[in-house]
Amino acid sequence: MKQMRIKGRNILKGTIKISGAKNSAVALIPASILSDDIVTIDNVPNISDISALNEILEFLGAKVKLENGLMTIDTKSIQNKNIPKEISNKLRASYYFMSALLGKYKHVEMYFPGGCKIGARPIDQTLKGFETLGAKVKEENNKFTIDAEELIGGHVYLDMPSVGATINTMLVATKAKGLTIIENAAKEPEIVNVATFLNNMGAKITGAGTSEIRIMGVEKLKGCFTEVIPDRIETGTYVIAGALLGENLKIENIIPEHIESLTLKLTEMGVDMDIQNNYLIINRCEKLKPVNLKTLCYPGFPTDLQQPVTVLLTQCDGISVLEETIYENRFQNIPYLNEMGANIDIIGKKIKVNGPTKLYGAKVVATDLRAGACLILAALIAKGETIVTDIEHVLRGYENIIEKLTNVGAEISLEEI
Ligand code: EPU
């Protein structure tokens, strides 16, 4: 078990370089097995979710090399084997192997994926995509056996623009015969990253990034090179840190368009930022205006920044209301923020944040990845020392978080307990 110890109230100045996006990399890696050759992916973040996917790749027989973010995957000796529950359970993205193996071998056996416990997170839309393309799905005790005599393109209408279902359907459709159309597709930048990767391998995908994606199936996919886009959620987390404590804090290797829903809200609050092509410079703001926020699919305000931004709302001068529309259980950070001195009421799907409040160090628990990020931000502005336990959740998604924050002036350390 690991915990983080943080001494609060240090000013943050210097530069933070953003890593490759977790939610892109975790899809690109399973997608690589659709290729019949060697693929190279650059800017892969060094986080534990990637180690779990590497474990799956190696279990399947792929040869994997990862050095300084450059990952080479040789899939020539891969075999279609049943991925053990203990490995697939480690993360949500393990189910991208479900679609990649189904696309490649027309048969897959796999357990329900893992992931942060932030809501029900069913996979019905993914299974609907598989079935529309001709697969038969059997489920017993959370184990899925999926077979297709032939995969044939079809018209998939998603009930909600699910990121996972869009990527899973895209992966299978790439190897299906004929045209697949995904309607009400998710538009997240990670989907564009995956589609570009598949196209580099020889797939024929158009419309990624819009709500209608068209995929003309191909028989073979070749090797290729691709790069993981910068992590917009990591960017947003450090931008929020900058709004709280920054003194000309530079955040570089970013795509500003991907975090516009956040930066526009910050401007509404009165935060001072200089946004350039691939970096921004941010300063802390003494008097923040309260705002209302609602999480939505991209390009709306991302649910993954909902917990981190709550810390900023505790510093606004007045009442802010935030509504979470994607997950039912993403307020597990709130009792801990209140223990630290915040004044937040949970009212169904909404929270009412009464600001401004001073925060004080406490012993708190990272119940999930973004709750952990939220508590780290709270600790950075709190008076005294905070201990965040269960920090493994955070290490799943934030590369070198200790070094990145220490380098800009934070006092933060990782302890084994
Ligand atoms: N949903 C269904 N049925 C489905 C699929 C989704 O009802 O078959 C519902 C979910 O329960 C949820 C909503 O649709 O209420 C959105 O789910 P989506 O499928 O879009 O989420 P996901 O693919 O499971 C990815 C990210 C999450 C991020 C969401 C939304 C990965 C590995 N995970 O999850 O990231 O919150 O999209 O943007 O890409 C995180 O990084 O902390 C994280 C949780």
What pLDDT was estimated at residue 109? 95
What pLDDT was estimated at residue 21? 98
Ligand 1 pocket check for 91: Cβ under 6 Å: no
Residues in the chain: 417
Residues acting as catalytic residues: 116
Q: Does the domain at residues 2-19+230-416 carry the CATH identifier 3.40.1440.60? A: no
Ligand 1 pocket check for 234: Cβ under 6 Å: no
Q: Cα-Cα-Cα-Cα dihedral of 367, 368, 371, 376, to 10°?
A: 80
Residue nearest to atom 28 of ligand 1 (CA): 304
**Ligand 1 midpoint to CA 163 (Å):** 6
CA distance 280 to 250: 6
What pLDDT was estimated at residue 168? 98
Residue nearest to atom 24 of ligand 1 (CA): 164
Ligand 1 pocket check for 207: Cβ under 6 Å: no
The token duo for 81 is 């084997």
The CATH code of the domain at 22-227 is 3.65.10.10
**Ligand 1 midpoint to CA 327 (Å):** 8
Ligand 1 pocket check for 26: Cβ under 6 Å: yes
**Ligand 1 midpoint to CA 113 (Å):** 12
Single pTM value for the model: 0.98
**Shortest-distance atom of ligand 1 to CA 128:** 8
Number of Cβ within a 10 Å radius of residue 413: 12
Q: Which amino acid is at 214?
A: R
**Shortest-distance atom of ligand 1 to CA 297:** 38
Task: Report how far Cα 228 is from the mean position of its chain's Cα atoms.
Answer: 12
CA distance 88 to 202: 28
Domain ranges of the chain: 2-19+230-416, 22-227
The answer to whether the beta carbons of residues 74 and 62 sit under 8 Å apart is: yes
The token duo for 359 is 């925060």
What pLDDT was estimated at residue 120? 86
The token duo for 381 is 């502005």
**Ligand 1 midpoint to CA 326 (Å):** 8
Per-residue pLDDT of the chain (417 residues; tens, 9 = 90+): 999 999 999 999 999 999 999 999 999 999 999 999 999 999 999 999 999 999 999 999 999 999 999 999 999 999 999 999 999 988 999 999 999 999 999 999 999 999 889 988 999 999 999 999 999 999 999 999 999 999 999 999 999 999 999 999 999 999 999 999 999 999 999 999 999 999 999 999 999 999 999 999 999 999 999 999 999 999 999 999 999 999 999 999 999 999 999 999 999 999 999 999 999 999 999 899 999 999 999 999 999 999 999 999 999 999 999 999 999 999 999 999 999 999 999 999 999 999 999 999 999 999 999 999 999 999 999 999 999 999 999 999 999 999 999 999 999 999 999
CA distance 131 to 196: 25
